[in-house]
């Protein structure tokens, strides 16, 4: 593509299509909370032993409610907050190790945030914001400006109108397009979209979603799509990962997850979605109460205090991520783990029990 | 059914550094015992309509014309004590951010009790009793101990329940809800929507519920009014509008919803962005983004057409060929 002639080349594909672009192993991030004078120190287990992989060219959706750790996972990934432990492998290379420096990794991974205004420098024009990273990477001013103008047209903003404008002079949808253009300026391979369309009006949201789909094909991108809006996640993602209180509770291909959600929390999230059919309104709330505070989360399965199927064993045993029907779809619930001690596991079909 | 609220030809203009014509001719009625959904995007005028109804707009910077009648009272003429009585007893409001709407330095119980004492002139003991009653009404668990809690000690969902308790403490006839579930998590949002549906029946009150989310509007409303550019572009029974939207904007809004879209298929979009409203729209404010725009749409305001019983649309196309005659 001649677009890249003047700009940075995309990082080389090393491991081939079979190797995941991103592997995250046992990622953990805890934040200490100051207790009272005599109170013991407490810990927010924001991200706790999270492991997942994103294949090349795939979109992985991450869903969950506030405090579930989805945004912290993204920030720790980007090294905006250093992880306490865990490994990040980018196309097989250990990030922060000998294979790949954090600076190199950040060039391969870019991020778009929810607040389109706060994520742009108010004193820089649209063009200056987009060229900033390119110049930092040693691209000349003229070449960087050309890339910026090309990218502005790619995201649907006419450069002759928008390049010289300041963030406060354009609408929220336009600002988010600028943020997307800026993220693409360094030719990343992975783009993390952290609630990137959540603040937009519905009619604008649809425009930006279409744009993201187009750009993905055009630039050969992989997306990590974080959102609380399940409709949007379903539309965008190939696979979806559900988080609850800092842990992954279920993941799988989007169709499989929607059709056969195995974790009671995933099922609750799905049935909490407002109906769009006036004749099929929601009659009962799937869960009572609010998502709990991630400070000192419950023992065993962290969902057990809110789970309608909880049994004493759930408070004692931490459920492993167990295959639901095939290896690709897994859920962390004792009800699907044979011999877990939960009464429902005894009723599993024998084929699954033998698995 | 008699109309509790009758808004006619309401115009609201904000003046100051920049003039914004936020509301440009809104006609709206609210019937007894119904929930009216007010659906629109940011800047469409839905919240301003609510605020005008409760006279919450800053006096010095707002120019209001038209009429708002609630239970045969002229709301725009209310002042002083009459306005205070109107707020809380006749009409009450809940907001998107209960953390901002509640007073952080008073406990939940004392805020409710104070309201009851102020409006009903009862004793502190009776007011405290009512506060406890109200927390039970909104299903706050262990209500007795929560009376002494301060807003920051409650979770988001519980704070919203507390605000609903406060708003309903003087048994208003009309509840105005300004996106009360937007800041909440999905599993909490549905609880609050179901609670409001139950309370609406229990108290027999009428509700105007402002939202930008079609799903939320479907869950809560009996009737729906869709706003765009400071006007109501379509209104009618919820079911009819969702099944067969007649205004091009409503059609676009329902089409651009990712809800039913199959993966891989492009979402229908409404091109462009909402109007800036620095002048009174002299034609159809949606014309610039409309898929079926005609020449006349840019020349004169479209008529409001009753396409079926109680079903209104502000569009030339609904009016058919002799539209100009009707206007």
Q: What is the pLDDT of residues A89-134, one digit of tens each?
A: 999 999 988 889 998 898 899 999 989 999 999 999 999 999 999 9
Pairing of strands B174-178, B206-211: parallel
The CATH number of the domain holding residue B252 is 3.40.50.300
Query: Domain check: are A226 and A285 in the same one?
Result: no
Instruction: Give tens-digit pLDDT for A66-76.
Output: 889 999 999 99
B 27-56 near A (Cβ less than 8 A): 41-42
Residues A281 and A228 in one domain: no
Measure the CA–CA gap between A320 and B243, rounded to whole angstroms: 44
Report the pLDDT value the prediction gives residue B265, as an integer from 0 to 100: 84
pLDDT at B325 over 60: no
pLDDT class of A36 with cuts at 50, 70, 90? low
Give A300-329 as a DSSP string. Answer: SSTTGGG-TT--HHHHH-PPP-EESSSTTS
Residue A249 lies in a domain: no
Return all residues near A260 (Cβ < 8 A) that are at least 6 apart: A324, A325, A329
pLDDT score, position B327: 39
More confident residue, B284 or B261: B284
Pick the last residue of a domain from A242, A276, A295: A242
- For the cut 90, the answer to whether the pLDDT of residue A37 exceeds it is no
Express each pLDDT in A227-251 by its tens digit.
Answer: 999 999 999 999 999 999 999 999 9
Chain B interface, best mutation among A235, A242, A292, by max B CB count within 10 A? A235
Q: What is the pLDDT of residues A216-226, one digit of tens each?
A: 999 999 999 99
Q: Which of A174, A204, A231 sits opposite B258 (nearest CB)?
A: A231
pLDDT, one tens digit per residue, over B88-108 is 899 999 999 888 889 999 999
Q: Does B252 touch chain A (CB under 8 A)?
A: yes
Partners of residue B187 in chain A, C-beta under 8 Å: 65, 268-269, 272, 285-287, 291
Mean model confidence pLDDT for chain B = 92
pLDDT for the residue numbered A271: 93
Asked if residue B284 is part of any domain, the answer here is yes
- Verify that A226 and A281 share a domain, yes or no: no
The Cα of B289 is separated from the nearest Cα of chain A by a number of Å equal to 11
**Residue B264, min C-alpha distance to chain A (Å):** 8
From chain A, the residues in CB contact with B215 under 8 A are 273-276
Task: Give backbone dihedrals phi and psi of B51, rounded to 5 degrees, phi first.
Answer: -65, -35
What count of Cα atoms within 13 Å lies in the side-chain half-sphere of residue A285? 20
Q: Which residue of A has its CA nearest to B259?
A: A231
Contact B155 A290 (CB under 8 A): yes
Nearest to A274 among B157, B212, B219 (CB): B219
In a domain, B231, yes or no: yes
Å from B217 to nearest chain A CA? 9
| Same domain assignment for residues A299 and A199 | no
pLDDT tens-digit map of A155-214: 999 999 999 999 999 988 899 999 999 999 999 999 999 999 988 888 889 999 999 999
CB A288 within 8 A of CB B185: no
Chain A residues in contact with B219 by the CB 8 A cut-off are: 274-275, 281-282
| Residues of B (74-103) whose Cβ lies below 8 Å from A | none
Expressed in percent and rounded to 5, the helix, strand and coil fractions of chain B are 40, 25, 35
CB count within 10 Å of CB B64 equals 18
Structural domain including B262 reads 3-95+217-326
Please give the pLDDT value at position A352. 54
Nearest to B257 among A202, A269, A279 (CB): A202
The backbone torsions φ and ψ at residue B210, rounded to the nearest 5 degrees and listed phi first, read: -90, 130
- High-pLDDT (> 90) share of chain A, %: 74
Calpha distance A198→A185 (Å, rounded): 23
What CATH number is given to the structural domain containing A145? Answer: 3.40.50.300
Q: Are strands A222-226 and B231-237 parallel, antiparallel or unpaired?
A: unpaired
Instruction: Classify residue A247: in a domain, yes or no.
Output: no
Q: What is the pLDDT of residues A52-61, one digit of tens each?
A: 999 999 999 9
A183: domain range?
2-242
Number of domains making up chain A: 2
In tens, the pLDDT along B148-162 reads 999 999 988 999 999
Q: Would strands B91-94 and B174-178 be described as parallel, antiparallel, or unpaired?
A: parallel
How far is Cα A58 from Cα A238, in angstroms, rounded to an integer? 6
Q: Based on the domain organization, do A100 and A217 belong to the same domain?
A: yes
Of A242, A258, A282, the one marking the end of a domain is A242
pTM for this predicted structure: 0.90
Q: Above 50 in pLDDT, residue A65?
A: yes
- The reply to whether A52 falls in a domain is yes
Name every chain A residue with its beta carbon within 8 A of the beta carbon of B258.
205-206, 209, 229, 231-232, 234-235
Torsion of CA B192, A281, A264, A68, to 10 degrees: -40
Residues A130 and A238 occupy one common structural domain = yes
Question: Which tokens in the block code for residue B266?
Answer: 């492009």
Structural domain ending residue among the three candidates A209, A242, A275: A242
Judge whether residue B260 has pLDDT over 90.
no
Q: Is A265 helix (H, G, I), strand (E, B) or coil?
A: helix
The 10s digit of each residue's pLDDT in B289-306 is 999 999 999 999 999 999
Is A338 domain-assigned? Answer: yes
Q: Are residues A287 and A191 in the same domain?
A: no
Our count of domains for chain B comes to: 1
Q: What is the dihedral of CA A183, A187, A188, A193, to 10 degrees?
A: 30
Residue A315 lies in a domain: yes
Read off the pLDDT of residues A285-312 as tens digits, 9 standing for 90 and up: 999 888 888 888 899 999 999 999 999 9
Which residue is closest to B272 within chain A, CA to CA? A204
Nearest to A249 by CA among A310, A319, A188, A344: A319
Distance (Å) from the alpha carbon of A240 to chain B's nearest alpha carbon: 14
In-domain check, residue B289:
yes
Per-residue pLDDT, A347: 83
Residues A274, A215 share a domain: no
Chain B residue numbers with beta carbons less than 8 Å from the beta carbon of A281 are 218-219
Is the domain of A21 the same as that of A142?
A: yes
User: Which residues on neighbouring strands pair with residue B305, listed in sequence order?
Assistant: B313
Q: Report pLDDT for B322.
A: 44
pLDDT computed for residue B39 by the predictor: 96
Residue A38 confidence class, pLDDT cut points 50, 70, 90: low
DSSP letters of A226-256? E-S-HHHHHHH-SEEEEEETTEEEEEEEHHH
Residue A280 in contact with partner chain B when CB distance is under 8 A: no
Per the CB < 8 Å rule, is B242 touching A234? no
């Amino acid at each position: 593509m001649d677009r890249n002639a003047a700009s940075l080349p995309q990082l080389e594909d090393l491991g081939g299509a079979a190797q995941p672009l991103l592997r995250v192993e046992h990622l953990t991030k805890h934040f200490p909370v100051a207790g009272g004078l005599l109170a013991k120190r407490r810990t927010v287990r924001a991200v706790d032993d999270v492991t997942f992989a994103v294949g090349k060219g795939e979109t992985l959706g991450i869903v969950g409610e506030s405090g579930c750790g989805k945004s912290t996972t993204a920030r720790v990934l980007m090294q905006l907050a250093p992880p306490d432990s865990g490994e990040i492998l980018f196309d097989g290379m250990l990030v922060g190790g000998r294979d790949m420096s954090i600076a190199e990794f950040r060039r391969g991974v870019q991020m778009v945030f929810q607040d389109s205004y706060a994520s742009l420098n108010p004193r820089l024009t649209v063009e200056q914001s987009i060229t900033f990273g390119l110049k930092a990477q040693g691209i000349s001013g003229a070449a960087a400006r050309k890339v910026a103008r090309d990218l502005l047209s790619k995201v649907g903003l006419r450069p002759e109108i928008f390049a010289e404008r300041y963030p406060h002079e354009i609408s929220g949808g336009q600002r988010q397009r600028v943020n997307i253009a800026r993220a693409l300026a360094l030719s990343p391979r992975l783009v993390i979209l952290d609630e990137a369309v959540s603040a937009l009006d519905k009619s604008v949201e649809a425009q930006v979603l279409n744009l993201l789909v187009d750009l993905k094909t055009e630039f050969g991108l992989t997306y990590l799509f974080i959102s609380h809006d399940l409709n949007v996640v379903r539309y965008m993602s190939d696979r979806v990962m559900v988080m609850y209180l800092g842990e992954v509770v279920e993941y799988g291909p989007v169709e499989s997850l929607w059709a056969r959600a195995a974790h009671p929390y995933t099922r609750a999230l799905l049935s909490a979605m407002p109906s769009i059919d006036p004749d099929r309104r929601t009659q009962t709330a799937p869960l009572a109460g609010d998502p709990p505070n991630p400070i000192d989360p419950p023992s065993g399965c962290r969902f057990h205090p809110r789970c309608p199927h909880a049994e004493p064993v759930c408070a004692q045993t931490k459920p492993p991520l167990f295959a639901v029907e095939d290896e690709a779809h897994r859920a962390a619930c004792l009800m699907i783990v044979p011999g877990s001690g939960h009464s429902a596991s005894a009723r599993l079909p024998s084929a699954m029990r033998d698995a | 059914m008699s109309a509790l609220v009758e808004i006619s030809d309401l115009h609201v203009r904000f003046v100051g550094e920049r003039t914004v014509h936020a509301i440009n001719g809104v006609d709206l009625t609210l019937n007894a015992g119904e929930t009216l959904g007010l659906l629109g995007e940011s800047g469409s005028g839905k919240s301003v309509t609510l605020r005008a109804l409760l006279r919450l707009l800053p006096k010095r910077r707002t120019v209001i014309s038209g009429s708002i009648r609630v239970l045969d009272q002229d709301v725009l003429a209310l002042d002083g004590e009459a306005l205070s009585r109107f707020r809380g007893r006749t009409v009450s409001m809940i907001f998107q951010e209960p953390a901002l709407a509640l007073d952080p330095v008073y406990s939940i119980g004392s805020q409710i009790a104070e309201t009851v004492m102020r409006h009903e002139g009862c004793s502190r003991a009776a007011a405290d009793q009512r506060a406890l009653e109200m927390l039970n009404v909104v299903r706050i668990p262990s209500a007795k101990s929560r009376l002494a809690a301060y807003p920051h000690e409650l979770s988001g969902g519980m704070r919203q329940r507390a605000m609903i308790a406060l708003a309903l403490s003087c048994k208003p006839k009309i509840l105005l809800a300004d996106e009360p579930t937007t800041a909440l998590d999905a599993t909490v949002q549905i609880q609050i929507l179901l609670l409001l549906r139950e309370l609406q029946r229990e108290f027999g009150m009428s509700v105007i519920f402002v939202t930008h989310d079609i799903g939320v509007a479907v869950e809560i409303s009996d009737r729906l009014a869709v706003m765009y550019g400071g006007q109501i572009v379509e209104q009618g029974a919820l079911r009819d509008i969702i099944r067969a939207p007649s205004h091009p904007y409503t059609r676009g809004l329902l089409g651009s919803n990712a809800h039913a879209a199959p993966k891989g298929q492009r979402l229908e979009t409404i091109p462009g962005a909402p109007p800036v409203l620095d002048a009174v729209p002299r034609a159809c404010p949606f014309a610039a983004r409309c898929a079926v725009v005609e020449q006349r749409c840019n020349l004169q305001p479209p008529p409001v057409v009753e396409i079926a019983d109680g079903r209104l649309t502000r569009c030339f196309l609904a009016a058919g060929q002799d539209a100009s005659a009707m206007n």
